[in-house]
Every structure is written in C-alpha cells, then in structure tokens.
Amino acid sequence: VNDSLMRFFDHCAKFVALVEENDAAMCQVNAFKEGPEMKKVLEKVASALCLPVEELNADLVQVAFLTCSYELAIKNVTSPWCSLFSEEDAKVLEYLNDLKQYWKRGYGYDINSRSSCILFQDIFQHLDKAVEESKSSKPISSPLIVQVGHAETLQPLLALMGYFKDDEPLLANNYAWHTQRKFRSGRIVPYAANLVFVLYHCDHVNASQEEYQVQLLLNEKLLSFHHSNETISTYADLKDYYKDILENCHFKEECELPKVNITAVDEL
C-alpha cells in the first residue's frame, strides 16, 4: 500500500483546498443541474412517477440513473429504474457526470493533473531502471510492476499526458457542442480501468535509439502517442516528449497552497 503515490490527490493540499473541498470549483456542474437539459429530464421523470416536479432535483434523478446503470453493469439486469430514461436522457446524465470528472479530475484545473506527476515520474523511474539493467546485461529485477488505484488515480494521469482533451472545455452551456466529445469518463475509466506501459528491447534495429521501444494500452486497447500518432514509440522519443513533466513537475511545489490571501477561484 502506497497511498502517497496512488492517492496523490489526498496528499496535495492545493487540490484538496481549492478543488476537493471548494464548492465554487464545481460551479459548471451545479449550473448544468439547473440548466434546460436537466430541467427537461426532471420534468419527464416527474411525469413518469406521477410526482410534482418540485419534489425532484438533479441529484435524485442521478441516483435513479446510477441505480439503473450499476445493476446493468454488475448484474446484467435491466432495473425498473431504467424505464424512466430515454437514450437522450441518458446522454444528458452522462454529460453531468463527465462535467464533474472534467472539473474535479480532468482538464478543469491544472492542479488536477499536475498533482499526478509524482506517479508519472515513478513509472518512468521503473522504466529507466529496466533499461539500465538491460544495457548492463543484468537480469531485470522487476519485469512487472503493478500499482492498484482508482479511477480518481488514473483520470488525472491521463489528463497529465494529454489524452482525451477537447478543443473547447466542458461547460454547463455547451452540451450540444460536445455531443462528439473525446472526454467521456465512462469510456476512459470504466470498471476495472487499466493503463499499461510495455517496454520492449529490440535486437534488430537500425540505430541505437531504436533499441528500446514502448507501447501504451488503455483498457487493453493500444493508445496512439501524441508526438507521432503511432502506437509504438522509441523510449527516447517518449521521454523527450514528456521531458518538461519528468524534469520540472515537482509534487511538493505544485501542491503548496498559495501564500498570499487570494480567493480559490483566482488561484485556479
């Protein structure tokens, strides 16, 4: 168990104070709950349940939707709660959850992803050690490294690496614009989500820098690298692409609370 590494978000004072425990940080989420798309869903659900719409709110409707989705995912049964929602309703509720993940664990605030650099650097330290041992013709001391965390661990790391970033931020008022968005947390970090770095030692290569190559798999599917749009990269090129994060992202400094007395919104 290494919570300081795998639960970095709990140990990042800036994230905890300015995002986790700051209601203002979720202003886009709260605004969407009161917006026209959610209002339409509320009215439909209230009508189906023969309830005054005033007795429902976005949180209660979301609980019903999650009950439907959990039973479908875990038990493979269609809950009676599912009958309350059309496909369009489900898309609205999916966007509500994506908004929360975007602003709390994704691209909404820099500290969300920057706090994960301690884990990113740890991964490359293990890869560096394997390369060093291989070059010295030593047995690889740790041929497999497994770290177990949560979606809250993986989502910031993927944001730090630049994956699933849309041209426009997810906001309460641009739901229609984002129907084809990349940032869909249910697909990025589903149940049993996993990210795998695979390091290869290649014997037959044209240049020494091609001797060590890397592939990335997210949920058992190959990811293309940003710097090449290919699914395999030399280790040297990958390290060069992420050089700034590997050399200049320092967890302690990133996570320090600002010394001056400014509001959380100003700091974020």
pLDDT by residue (tens digit) across 37-62? 999 999 999 999 999 999 999 999 99
Q: How far apart are CA 210 and CA 133, in angstroms?
A: 17
Q: Note the pLDDT of residue 259.
A: 81
Extract the tokens encoding 50.
């023969």
Q: How far apart are CA 202 and CA 232, in angstroms?
A: 12
pTM exceeds cut of 0.75? yes
The mean pLDDT values, 10 residues at a time, for the chain of 268 residues are 95 97 97 97 96 95 95 91 95 97 98 98 98 94 95 97 98 96 96 96 88 97 96 97 97 91 58
Q: Note the pLDDT of residue 206.
A: 85
Q: How far apart are CA 96 and CA 63, in angstroms?
A: 12
Rounded to the nearest 10 degrees, how much is the dihedral formed by the CA atoms of 151, 156, 158, 159? 140
Residues whose CB falls within 8 Å of the CB of residue 261, separated by 6 or more in sequence, listed in order: none
Q: Note the pLDDT of residue 180.
A: 96
CATH code that applies to domain 3-255: 3.40.50.1240
Each residue of 167-220: pLDDT tens digit? 999 999 999 999 999 999 999 999 999 999 999 999 888 888 899 999 999 999
